[in-house]
Amino acid sequence: MNIGVIVSDAMLMVKYMSGGYIGMIEEFFISKLKPKSSFVLAGRVLELVKIKDMTVFVKRSTSKKAITPSWMGGTLPLTSHLSHFLRIKLADALSPKIRERELKFLHPLISRQSSHSHIPKADEFLVELIDTKEGHHLFMYPFEGRLVHEVISALIAHRLSKIKPLTYTIAMNDYGFELLSDQPFPLDDSNINSILSKENLMDDVAASINASEMASRKFRDIAVIAGLVVQSRPGSRQNNKSLQSSSGLIFRVLEDNEPNNLLLRQAYTEVFNQQLEEVRLQAAFKRISKSKIVLKRAKAFTPLSFPIKADSLRNSMSYESLEKRIQRIQKQTLKIG
């Protein structure tokens, strides 16, 4: 009765280990995190302890660095074609021949980006290092869309941590992403190419995120569609917690005893193709490997980096309004500029 049923993404309840309820979070985001990872929710910095069925158990984190949650319904990422033309338009933005009213309107910002950092050409990849009172900022601009940047940022953080273990706060938008640390980044002209290398790409991606947990939750959908677990019977319907418990048990048995099972492989394939966008990720790193890496050290936030920084402020708790915090950073930037 349930074979071929349409499934949807689930919301997980976030609770303290002591039992207090905090809120809800999307399975899409939380399943990527490993235990001891810190993230922001409801204005609090929380440390992931474990995920059991449809409940996320956390404790308060003393870390000043945390990952900003992403929500599937709140993002409309750039397509690969749109991001390609966006890079071309940005590269030609300072050309005297431009006719687009939008680019003419943005000319002051683009000029400021050029004078304080760099406008990446179509065959260039821009990396910015900025030091502030808050810490050390690393900005990269792949222009590949928010979902791809979420994976790339975790990958870059993983590769940097192999050189020097650091704690990061990660934020991103459709144009680029930010890593923030309280220590200088072990990044310079000598190792930037290896950090952005396409070698061992998916192995490093799998190491940087919780691939097994993501596959386990994707397997729930596959198990429902394949009829291994029953989502609904006449007069009754299983909730997501029961479905995850049943499908999770099947997943673990298959992983331990039949690792080449087609349904198990399908779960991992869907994780890499849909949630991690493997094809687009491979294409992005292939393009970056052929590009000239431009590493710039800026004295203050640039027009490209400022929106990413502003986006990260939305998810941190403060008694100061978001508008006032942005205005304060803007004044500091203009003073230096």
* pLDDT tens-digit map of 146-158: 888 988 999 999 9
Same structural domain, 133 and 154: yes
CA distances to 20, 115, 232 from 247, rounded to whole Å, are: 27, 56, 14
- Answer whether residue 270 is part of any domain: yes
pLDDT tens readout for residues 224-233? 888 888 776 6
pLDDT at 12: 87
Residue 36 structural domain? 11-60
- Answer whether residue 38 is part of any domain: yes
Alpha-carbon gap, residue 207 to 155, rounded angstroms: 8
Q: Quick one: what percent of the chain has pLDDT higher than 90?
A: 33
- Answer whether residue 67 is part of any domain: no
- Answer whether residue 286 is part of any domain: no
| Total domains present in the chain | 3
Helix (H, G, I), strand (E, B) or coil at 318: coil
Same structural domain, 38 and 123: no
Cα three-residue angle 7-10-13, rounded to 5 degrees: 160
Tell which wins on pLDDT, 253 or 147.
253
Same structural domain, 164 and 87: yes
Same structural domain, 134 and 113: yes
Alpha-carbon gap, residue 302 to 183, rounded angstroms: 21
Same structural domain, 261 and 311: no
- Answer whether residue 289 is part of any domain: no
Alpha-carbon gap, residue 171 to 138, rounded angstroms: 11
Which two three-digit tokens encode residue 142? 């792949």
- Answer whether residue 193 is part of any domain: yes
Among the candidates 247, 275, 303, a domain finishes at 275
pLDDT tens readout for residues 304-319? 998 898 877 665 545 4
Same structural domain, 102 and 218: no
- Answer whether residue 69 is part of any domain: no
Same structural domain, 136 and 195: yes
Same structural domain, 165 and 144: yes
Tell which wins on pLDDT, 43 or 282.
282
For all residues of the chain together, what is the average pLDDT? Answer: 84
